[in-house]
Amino acid sequence: MNRTPLFSIISLNIFLKKYQFLCLELCARMCINQGKDAKQERLKVMITDMRDIAVFIAFFHVSIVVATVPPCQTCGSPNLSPPAPEAASPEPALTQPVESPKTVPPCQTCGSPNPSPPAHEAASPEPAPTPSADSPKTSKAPKDGVFDITEHGAVAGGGTESSSAFSAAWTAACDYAGKSTFYIPEGRYLVGPISFTGPCYNNWSPNVEIRGTLLAPISLSAFKSSTWIAFKNLQGFIVTGENETANIDGQGAAEAWKQFSCEKSDRCKKLITSMDLINVSHATISGITLSNSKGFHLGLHGSNHINIYNVNITAPKESPNTDGIHVSHSSNINIFSSTIGVGDDCVSIGPGSSNISISDVQCGPGHGISVGSLGKYKNEKDVVGISVQNCTIKGTQNGIRVKTWPGAPPSKASNMTFEDIFMINVSNPIIIDQEYCPSHSCNTSEPSLVKLTDIFVRNINGTYNTRSAITLLCSSEVPCENVQLVNISLNYVVPDSPRQGRMSTKGFLNGLQVINSRF
The DSSP annotation for 233-268 comes to EEES-EEEE-TTT-EEE--GGGTGGG-HHHHHSSS-
- Check if the beta carbon of residue 245 is closer than 8 Å to that of residue 208: no
Q: What is the pLDDT of residue 243?
A: 76
Domain carrying residue 424: 221-243+266-515
- Check if the beta carbon of residue 455 is closer than 8 Å to that of residue 426: no
Is 148 contained in some domain? no
Q: What is the spatial distance between Cα 176 and Cα 239, in angstroms, rounded to a whole number?
A: 18
Q: Is 149 helix (H, G, I), strand (E, B) or coil?
A: helix
Is 87 contained in some domain? no
How far, CA to CA in Å, does 427 sit from each of 225, 380, 440?
35, 29, 19
Is 302 contained in some domain? yes
Is 334 contained in some domain? yes
Q: What is the spatial distance between Cα 343 and Cα 79, in angstroms, rounded to a whole number?
A: 87
Q: What is the spatial distance between Cα 230 and Cα 93, in angstroms, rounded to a whole number?
A: 83
Q: What is the spatial distance between Cα 282 and Cα 190, in angstroms, rounded to a whole number?
A: 29
DSSP code, position 203:
G
Q: What is the pLDDT of residue 443?
A: 84
- 367: annotated active-site residue: yes
Is 447 contained in some domain? yes
CB neighbour class for 378 (10 Å; exposed up to 12, middle 13-18, buried from 19): exposed
CATH at 287? 2.160.20.10
Say what angle helices 4-33 and 36-68 make with each other, to 10 degrees. 180
DSSP code, position 128:
P
- Let me know how many helices (H) and strands (E) the chain has, helices first: 4, 28
Q: What is the pLDDT of residue 6?
A: 43
- From the list 334, 388, 326, 321, the residue with the least C-alpha distance to 352 is 326
Q: Which of 61, 152, 329, 367 is catalytic?
A: 367
Predicted TM-score of the model (pTM) = 0.73
Is 65 contained in some domain? no
Domain count, the chain: 1
Beta bridge partners of 426: 464
Is 357 contained in some domain? yes
- Check if the beta carbon of residue 394 is closer than 8 Å to that of residue 367: no
Spans in the chain with pLDDT lower than 70: 1-142, 265-266, 497-501
Is 315 contained in some domain? yes
Q: What is the spatial distance between Cα 34 and Cα 28, in angstroms, rounded to a whole number?
A: 11
